[in-house]
Amino acid sequence: MLSLLGQALLSLAVLTSLHQILRPDRGGDPMVRHVTMATQAAPFVLLVAAFLVGATTLDLVSRYGGDGLPLLYRISAVWGSRSGPLLMWA
């Protein structure tokens, strides 16, 4: 379920980014900019939340996270593989 939500958010982020590229006349609209920024940040926030709650249904969380880790280490585990930082910078 979380992986489908993450993929949907990534797809929405790509679509809103393409909208800003293809429609530069509307790209200056503050609402469009805020929606684009929110859809780009949402997948990373979802991944951090998955680490915080220990959603082991996600492969990345089951490999690098754990219920026995303190809060700071759970948040830091997002950067444990290449997927977390790439998602943040994408």
For the chain, how many structural domains are there in total?
1
pLDDT 10s digits, 4-50: 998 999 999 999 888 888 887 765 678 888 988 999 999 999 989 99
Which pLDDT does position 27 carry in this prediction? 58
Query: What is the separation, in whole angstroms, between the first and last Cα of the chain?
Result: 22
Q: Is the pLDDT of residue 90 over 80?
A: no
pTM over 0.85: no
The rounded distance, in Å, linking the Cα atoms of 2 and 13 is 16
For residue 15, what are the domain limits?
2-89
Fill in the DSSP letter of residue 90: -
Alpha-helical segments (H) within the chain:
2-22, 24-27, 30-53, 59-64, 71-76, 83-89
Which pLDDT does position 65 carry in this prediction? 82
